[in-house]
């Protein structure tokens, strides 16, 4: 995807205004600017509600930060972005004060910049490849903050560019699942002129963006806005439909759907299979976050219950673990802990989330692993047996494995345990389609370019293919699949 | 949104409602359930599809009033809408001609039993049904079960109807007197625990349909997990029916009480409104 755009990006960079802008400030002055700090709500304040932690940078801050970008002739940052956003292109629009143009420039490659600007792990993607990181040994240009700024600016401007779709071809395409993969696919398919219907199993749209990632990191209103834009573009959304069950693929074909994109996500939570794991008060992060985020369990008038733990232990070190432990803190936990078998260095969670968690008073029991849970007479968890771990010397692949330290077991108290050790692909669709090729991990097998499965007209992407990845990768898949579907249907 | 077409009380606490759900009606098989949610603040609860009418495009649910959501559902009237209905979920019952089948249903468990009795009978099995309730007023669906059974035994705890005694007493009688090839048991977890002990004693393969607490019903949360044969299974995607001899019923019972305090408090708050 990035390669299609390189010549175009070069052309854009050679435009008169870009060259003028570049000359207007010396490279030295640019590199002397200190990276912008994201304004954040005070930790003591934010743990009392679901308020978004990062408040967003102002226009003035954005313009200054944009000046840091050197508009590199061969911008490595773009290669770090899974969808090849023209990073210097949009940043220079910000420097020039053309915020709406900046948003439009991002949207050429990334349909939901307000989401990605917030949740992309920039520190290992675009920002990791920025020349500031790689050569200048300084903090990278705040690409994510700028992306979010441009997107939010556009959303608040009242001038959201909703592409007008003139050429409708009345060919029906079904999108299964309304997570980032499905939404991105729907957005492109409708632009190609297809008659697109998104089918969602749950009673709300957005997938993990809604039921997983909490409001303090990604407000629901942002996702709803993107979904409304898709509706305005003509995408039909239908909830409470389980593809393969309520409607089988044969039904959908009979209803005239000529191609399918499956973005059904990785749903099935993993457990460790240790004694006591089925006691009450031990739940998967999916259950916990779904109760709180999708079902509103912590709100007074909502019917779904949730445990308000006082001493909460979250097992795992990924984003899901951080989101769970920070949610528990907001629901009144006096002690909220992460229990992770490796050290901070290996933690897969975003660096920002770990820092935010630390600021909020989350305790980290790194290099610890649970062995067993104990419960009170009613079967509710009350204690955990933990074991201390150490990291082995790096093996051939450079990985340091956690190894148990014999005799190091000890017991801690906990009245809520949240298991966040990963998910497996949702089996519902493969179960309902015996011909579909599925890997031994349960992921749908597709060719990596067009995202086409072995079943004619059936494409897939996102976590159901990758088995747990990122929002931007899911979106990238959705867009590639949309292109694949367009080629497939044009051939017919 | 699914409109309510018919509503009828089967007993003081059990209501039968027929709702519009044409897509689900077409796909539903014995053993399937739906997830229902009422209002934007509602919770998602699983309910078995007791009957379906493809021509009318409707499904019938039979609900026992136990807490907030079942009460909310029972308080809706013909013409009202059920906010969200999704399904069919779970694996359909494996229906086969095996010979003589004993179907034991307790309380509102008779509702999920009905489509299974019907399917087993249609498949050519001899069906003996035992229906158990605390008293005569609480017994539901007797006529429907009768029309698909070769023999029906009624047991009430207080003897107000049929034979006095627990369902297990009736089962022992049957097992002693004739050869049973297969047994199905559906009811409160405590009942299924004891019925499967009886059938185990007589070595009759037995299937139980578990009523775990659920959230999504699609395999996403793990709230519905139970231990079956020492392994974690998710009732919504691996079940709801399992070999009763492998199910850890004590664990199921414990997990069913998991949110008891929270549910009861919320129930009292809702009542006082
Ligand atoms: C708590 C949490 C935090 C995360 N944080 C980050 C982060 O900070 N940054 C990041 O990049 N990534 C993060 N991720 C990962 C990211 O959210 C996922 O990689 C991404 O959402 C995958 O998108 P998807 O579209 O493939 O699937 P999903 O978002 O899982 O959406 C799939 C949708 O399909 C629906 N569905 C499933 N089966 C069917 C069916 N048969 N019929 C109809 N609908 C169906 C599901 O209900 C769901 O709505 C996080 C994940 C979690 C759980
Ligand atoms: C696959 C499946 C099929 C089912 N089919 C039917 C059906 O056809 N008709 C019917 O009436 N019920 C059925 N149930 C049970 C039904 O889902 C529960 O009664 C319902 O969730 C209770 O919701 P509530 O809000 O009214 O009560 P709550 O307030 O949630 O609970 C009230 C009390 O009941 C207990 N409880 C909660 N959930 C369950 C449960 N799943 N089973 C037993 N006790 C529970 C609680 O601990 C509490 O003490 C089924 C359950 C499953 C899993
Ligand atoms: S989409 Fe993500 S990786 Fe790409 S530029 Fe934006 S923040 Fe960086
Ligand atoms: S590498 Fe950094 S400085 Fe260079 S263009 Fe990209 S963001 Fe700007
Ligand atoms: S109800 Fe959530 S996994 Fe079964």
Per residue in B171-194, pLDDT tens? 999 999 999 999 999 999 999 999
Q: Which two tokens stand for residue B140?
A: 């539901």
Angle at A356 between CA A355 and CA A357, to 5 degrees: 90
**Cα A359 from Cα A172, distance rounded (Å):** 50
Per residue in A402-414, pLDDT tens? 999 999 999 999 9
Neighbours of B79 (CB within 10 A): 9
Using the Cβ of B23 and the Cβ atoms of chain A, whether some distance falls under 8 Å is answered with yes
Do A242 and B86 lie within an 8 Å CB cutoff?
yes
Residue A213 Cβ inside 6 Å of ligand 1? The answer reads: yes
Q: How far off is chain A from B271, nearest CA to CA, in Å?
A: 12
Q: Judging by DSSP bridges, how do beta strands A335-340 and A363-366 pair with one another? A: parallel
* Residue A469 reports pLDDT greater than 90: no
Do B222 and A284 lie within an 8 Å CB cutoff?
yes
**Cα B64 from Cα B58, distance rounded (Å):** 20
> What is the CATH class of B2-89?
mainly beta
pLDDT band at A3 (very low <50, low <70, confident <90, very high): very low
Residues contacting A397, CB < 8 A, separation 6+: none
Residues contacting A407, CB < 8 A, separation 6+: none
Helix segments in B47-205, DSSP class H: 68-75, 110-122, 142-146, 167-177, 189-201
Do B257 and A296 lie within an 8 Å CB cutoff?
no
- CB-defined site of ligand 5, < 6 Å: B 214-217, 219-224, 234, 236
Residues contacting B273, CB < 8 A, separation 6+: none
**Cα A460 from Cα A443, distance rounded (Å):** 10
**Cα A301 from Cα B269, distance rounded (Å):** 9
Tell me how far the alpha carbon of residue A100 lies from the centroid of ligand 1, in angstroms: 29
Q: Are A385 and A377 in contact (CB under 8 A)?
A: no
Q: Which two tokens stand for residue A388?
A: 């201390």
From A201, A271, A379, residue closest to B218, measured CB to CB: A201
- Please, which residues 142-201 of chain B have a Cβ atom closer than 8 Å to chain A? none
Tell me how far the alpha carbon of residue B235 lies from the centroid of ligand 5, in angstroms: 7
* Chain B residue whose CA is closest to A265: B220
Do A378 and B86 lie within an 8 Å CB cutoff?
no
**Cα A222 from Cα B219, distance rounded (Å):** 27
Q: How far off is chain B from A287, nearest CA to CA, in Å?
A: 4
Angle at A91 between CA A86 and CA A96, to 5 degrees: 130
Q: How far off is chain A from B231, nearest CA to CA, in Å?
A: 8
* Residue A37 reports pLDDT greater than 80: yes
Which helix or strand (DSSP H or E) is residue A188 part of?
Answer: helix A180-192
Do A240 and B84 lie within an 8 Å CB cutoff?
yes
pLDDT of residue B162: 87
Q: How far off is chain B from A66, nearest CA to CA, in Å?
A: 42
Per residue in A196-232, pLDDT tens? 999 999 999 999 999 999 999 999 999 999 899 899 9
Q: What percent of chain A has pLDDT over 90?
A: 77
Token pair 């143009």 is at which residue?
A101
Q: How far off is chain B from A173, nearest CA to CA, in Å?
A: 19
pLDDT band at A1 (very low <50, low <70, confident <90, very high): very low
Q: Are A263 and A478 in contact (CB under 8 A)?
A: yes
Per residue in B202-247, pLDDT tens? 999 999 999 999 999 999 999 999 999 999 999 999 989 999 999 9
Residues of B with CB below 8 A from A428's CB? 218-219, 237
pLDDT of residue A109: 87
* Chain A residue whose CA is closest to B37: A203
Do A301 and B41 lie within an 8 Å CB cutoff?
yes
Q: What is the dihedral of CA A50, A52, A54, A58, to 10 degrees?
A: -150
Segments making up each domain of chain B, as ranges? 2-89, 100-256
Question: Please, what is the angle between helix B260-271 and helix B68-75, to 10°?
Answer: 40
Handedness of CA A155, A350, A184, A212 (dihedral sign): negative
- First CA to last CA across chain B, in angstroms? 25
Residues contacting B176, CB < 8 A, separation 6+: none
* Residue A274 reports pLDDT greater than 70: yes
Handedness of CA A289, A295, A296, A301 (dihedral sign): negative
pLDDT of residue A301: 87
* Residue A429 reports pLDDT greater than 50: yes
Q: Which two tokens stand for residue A135?
A: 């050569």
**Cα A55 from Cα A39, distance rounded (Å):** 6
Q: How many CB pairs (< 8 A) connect A and B?
A: 122
**Cα A307 from Cα B159, distance rounded (Å):** 41
**Cα A130 from Cα A139, distance rounded (Å):** 9
Q: Are A67 and A112 in contact (CB under 8 A)?
A: no
Tell me how far the alpha carbon of residue B211 lies from the centroid of ligand 2, in angstroms: 7
Mean pLDDT of A104-131: 92
With b meaning 16 or more CB within 10 Å and e meaning fewer, what string describes B183-193?
bbbbbebebbb
Tell me how far the alpha carbon of residue B44 lies from the centroid of ligand 2, in angstroms: 10
Radius of gyration of chain B from its Cα atoms, rounded to whole angstroms: 18
pLDDT of residue A145: 97
* Residue B255 reports pLDDT greater than 90: yes
pLDDT of residue B273: 63
Q: How far off is chain A from B16, nearest CA to CA, in Å?
A: 22
What is the ipTM score, two decimals? 0.93
Per residue in B32-69, pLDDT tens? 999 999 999 999 999 999 999 999 999 999 999 988 99
Neighbours of B64 (CB within 10 A): 19
Using the Cβ of B263 and the Cβ atoms of chain A, whether some distance falls under 8 Å is answered with yes
**Cα A307 from Cα A300, distance rounded (Å):** 13
Q: Are A193 and A167 in contact (CB under 8 A)?
A: yes
Q: Are B102 and B180 in contact (CB under 8 A)?
A: yes
* Chain B residue whose CA is closest to A286: B221
Which residue has the least CA distance to atom 2 on ligand 3?
Answer: A120
pLDDT of residue A64: 96
From A279, A290, A378, residue closest to B216, measured CB to CB: A290
pLDDT of residue A158: 80
Q: Which two tokens stand for residue B121?
A: 């009978």
* Residue A99 reports pLDDT greater than 50: yes
Per residue in B138-173, pLDDT tens? 898 999 999 999 999 999 988 888 888 889 999 999
* Residue A164 reports pLDDT greater than 80: no
* Residue A7 reports pLDDT greater than 80: no
Do A203 and B220 lie within an 8 Å CB cutoff?
no
B230 burial level (CB within 10 Å; 0-12, 13-18, 19+):
exposed
Per residue in A349-361, pLDDT tens? 999 999 999 999 9
Do A280 and B216 lie within an 8 Å CB cutoff?
no
Domain B100-256 has CATH 3.40.50.80: yes
| Closest of A465, A442, A445 to residue A455, by C-alpha | A445
Using the Cβ of B262 and the Cβ atoms of chain A, whether some distance falls under 8 Å is answered with yes
Q: Which two tokens stand for residue B53?
A: 């009418």
* Chain B residue whose CA is closest to A305: B262
**Cα A81 from Cα A87, distance rounded (Å):** 9
Q: What percent of chain B has pLDDT over 90?
A: 78
CB half-sphere exposure, A78, CA atoms < 13 A? 23
Mean pLDDT of B98-115: 93
Per residue in A280-299, pLDDT tens? 999 999 999 999 999 988 88
Residue B42 Cβ inside 6 Å of ligand 2? The answer reads: no
Per residue in A228-258, pLDDT tens? 989 998 999 999 999 999 999 999 999 999 9
Tell me how far the alpha carbon of residue B207 lies from the centroid of ligand 3, in angstroms: 52
What is the position in ligand 5's atom list of the atom closest to the CA of B235?
Answer: 4
* Chain B residue whose CA is closest to A271: B232
* Residue B271 reports pLDDT greater than 80: no
Residues of B with CB below 8 A from A284's CB? 221-222
Do A245 and B88 lie within an 8 Å CB cutoff?
yes
Helix segments in chain B, DSSP class H: 22-27, 68-75, 110-122, 142-146, 167-177, 189-201, 235-238, 249-256, 260-271
Which of B13, B35, B70 is the pocket-test mutation for ligand 2 (most atoms within 8 Å of CB)? Answer: B70
Using the Cβ of B126 and the Cβ atoms of chain A, whether some distance falls under 8 Å is answered with no
pLDDT band at A6 (very low <50, low <70, confident <90, very high): low
Do B43 and A303 lie within an 8 Å CB cutoff?
yes
Q: What is the dihedral of CA A118, A120, A122, A123, to 10 degrees?
A: 100
The strand ranges marked E within A3-97 are none
| Closest of A88, A224, A81, A222 to residue A148, by C-alpha | A222
Q: Domains, chain A, ranges and CATH?
A: 13-157 (1.10.1060.10), 172-266+425-491 (3.50.50.60), 269-423 (3.50.50.60)
Q: Are B76 and B51 in contact (CB under 8 A)?
A: no
Tell me how far the alpha carbon of residue A246 lies from the centroid of ligand 2, in angstroms: 23
What is the position in ligand 3's atom list of the atom closest to the CA of A147?
Answer: 6
What DSSP state is assigned to residue B47?
E
* Chain A residue whose CA is closest to B268: A303
pLDDT of residue B1: 84
State the DSSP string of A387-412.
EEEEEPPP-TTS---EEE-TT--EEE
Which of B35, B36, B233, B236 is the pocket-test mutation for ligand 5 (most atoms within 8 Å of CB)? Answer: B236
Per residue in A296-334, pLDDT tens? 888 888 988 888 999 999 999 999 999 999 999 999 999
**Cα A20 from Cα A25, distance rounded (Å):** 9
Q: Which two tokens stand for residue B43?
A: 């919770």
3 state SS of A173: strand
pLDDT band at A5 (very low <50, low <70, confident <90, very high): low
Mean pLDDT of A446-452: 91
Q: What is the dihedral of CA A341, A345, A349, A355, to 10 degrees?
A: 110
Using the Cβ of B75 and the Cβ atoms of chain A, whether some distance falls under 8 Å is answered with no
**pTM to 2 decimals?**
0.93
Which of B68, B213, B222, B250 to substitute to test the interface with A, most A CBs within 10 Å? B222
* Chain B residue whose CA is closest to A268: B220
Which of A88, A94, A111, A144 is the pocket-test mutation for ligand 3 (most atoms within 8 Å of CB)? Answer: A144
pLDDT band at A81 (very low <50, low <70, confident <90, very high): very high
Residues of A with CB below 8 A from B43's CB? 295, 302-305
**Cα A189 from Cα A451, distance rounded (Å):** 14
Which residue has the least CA distance to atom 21 on ligand 1?
Answer: A208
Neighbours of B179 (CB within 10 A): 9
Do A303 and B232 lie within an 8 Å CB cutoff?
no
Q: Which two tokens stand for residue A356?
A: 């935010």
Do A269 and B216 lie within an 8 Å CB cutoff?
no
Give the distance from CA B235 to its chain's centroid: 13
């Amino acid at each position: 995807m990035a390669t299609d755009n390189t010549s175009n990006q070069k052309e854009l960079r050679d435009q008169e205004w870009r060259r003028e802008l570049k000359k207007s400030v010396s490279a030295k002055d640019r590199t002397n600017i200190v990276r912008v700090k994201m304004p954040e709500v005070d930790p003591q304040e934010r743990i009392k509600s679901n308020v978004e932690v990062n408040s967003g940078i102002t226009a003035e801050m954005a313009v200054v930060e944009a000046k840091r970008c050197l508009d590199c002739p061969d911008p490595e940052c773009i290669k770090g972005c899974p969808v090849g956003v023209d990073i210097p292109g949009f940043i220079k629009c910000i420097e020039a004060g053309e915020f709406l143009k900046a948003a439009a420039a991002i949207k050429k490659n990334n349909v939901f910049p307000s989401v990605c600007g917030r949740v992309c792990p920039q520190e290992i993607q675009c920002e990791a490849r920025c020349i500031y990181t790689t050569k200048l040994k300084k903090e990278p240009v705040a690409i994510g903050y700028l992306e979010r700024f441009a997107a939010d600016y556009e959303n608040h401007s009242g001038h959201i560019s909703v592409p007008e779709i003139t050429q409708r071809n009345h060919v029906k395409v079904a999108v299964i699942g309304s997570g980032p993969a499905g939404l991105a696919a729907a957005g492109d398919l409708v632009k190609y002129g297809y008659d697109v219907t998104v089918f969602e199993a749950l009673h709300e749209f957005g997938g993990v963006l809604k039921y997983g990632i909490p409001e303090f990191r990604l407000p629901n209103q942002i996702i709803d806005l993107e979904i409304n834009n898709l509706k305005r573009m003509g995408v039909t959304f239908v909830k409470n439909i389980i593809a393969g069950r309520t409607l089988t693929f044969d039904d959908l074909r009979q209803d005239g759907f000529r191609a399918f994109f499956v973005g059904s996500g990785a749903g099935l939570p993993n457990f460790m299979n240790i004694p006591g794991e089925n006691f009450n008060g031990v739940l998967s992060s999916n259950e916990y976050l779904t109760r709180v985020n999708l079902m509103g369990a912590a709100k007074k008038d909502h019917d779904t219950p949730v445990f308000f733990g006082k001493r909460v232990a979250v097992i795992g070190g990924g984003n899901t673990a951080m989101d769970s432990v920070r949610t528990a803190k907001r629901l009144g936990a006096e002690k909220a802990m992460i229990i992770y078998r490796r050290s901070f260095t290996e933690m897969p969670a975003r660096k920002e989330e770990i820092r935010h968690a630390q600021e909020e008073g989350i305790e980290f029991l790194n290099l610890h692993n649970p062995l067993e849970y104990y419960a009170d007479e009613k079967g509710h968890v009350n204690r955990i047996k933990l074991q201390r771990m150490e990291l082995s010397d790096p093996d051939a692949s450079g990985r340091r494995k956690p190894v148990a330290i014999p005799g190091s077991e000890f017991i801690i108290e906990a009245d809520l345990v949240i298991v966040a050790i990963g998910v497996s692909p949702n089996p519902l669709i493969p179960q309902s389609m015996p011909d579909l090729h599925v890997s031994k991990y349960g992921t749908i097998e597709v060719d990596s370019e067009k995202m086409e499965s072995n079943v004619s007209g059936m494409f897939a992407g996102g976590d159901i293919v990758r088995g747990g990845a990122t929002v931007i990768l899911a979106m990238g898949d959705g867009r590639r699949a949309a292109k694949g579907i367009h080629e497939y249907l044009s051939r017919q | 949104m699914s409109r309510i077409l018919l509503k009828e009380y089967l007993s003081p606490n059990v209501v039968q409602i027929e709702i519009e759900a044409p897509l689900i009606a077409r796909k539903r098989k014995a053993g399937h359930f739906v997830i229902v949610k009422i209002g934007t603040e509602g919770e998602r609860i699983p309910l078995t599809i007791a009957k379906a009418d493809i021509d009318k495009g409707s499904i019938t649910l039979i609900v026992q009033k136990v807490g907030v959501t079942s009460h909310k559902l029972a308080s809706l009237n013909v013409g009202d809408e059920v906010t969200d209905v999704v399904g069919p979920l779970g694996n359909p019952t494996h229906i086969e001609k095996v010979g003589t089948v004993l179907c034991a249903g307790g309380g509102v468990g008779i509702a999920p039993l009905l489509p299974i009795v019907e399917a087993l009978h249609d498949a050519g099995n001899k069906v003996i049904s035992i229906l158990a309730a605390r008293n005569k007023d609480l017994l539901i669906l007797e006529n429907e079960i009768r029309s698909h059974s070769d023999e029906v035994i009624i047991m009430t705890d207080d003897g107000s109807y049929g034979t006095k005694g627990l369902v297990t007493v009736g089962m022992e009688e049957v097992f002693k007197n004739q050869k049973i090839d297969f047994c199905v048991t559906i009811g409160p977890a405590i009942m299924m625990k004891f019925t499967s002990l009886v059938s185990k004693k007589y070595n009759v393969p037995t299937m139980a349909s578990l009523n775990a607490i659920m959230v999504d019903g699609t395999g996403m949360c793990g709230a519905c997990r139970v231990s079956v044969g020492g392994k974690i299974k998710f009732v919504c995607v691996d079940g709801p029916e399992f070999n009763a001899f492998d199910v850890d019923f004590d664990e199921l019972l414990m997990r069913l009480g998991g949110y008891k305090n929270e549910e009861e408090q919320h129930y009292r708050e809702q009542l006082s409104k």
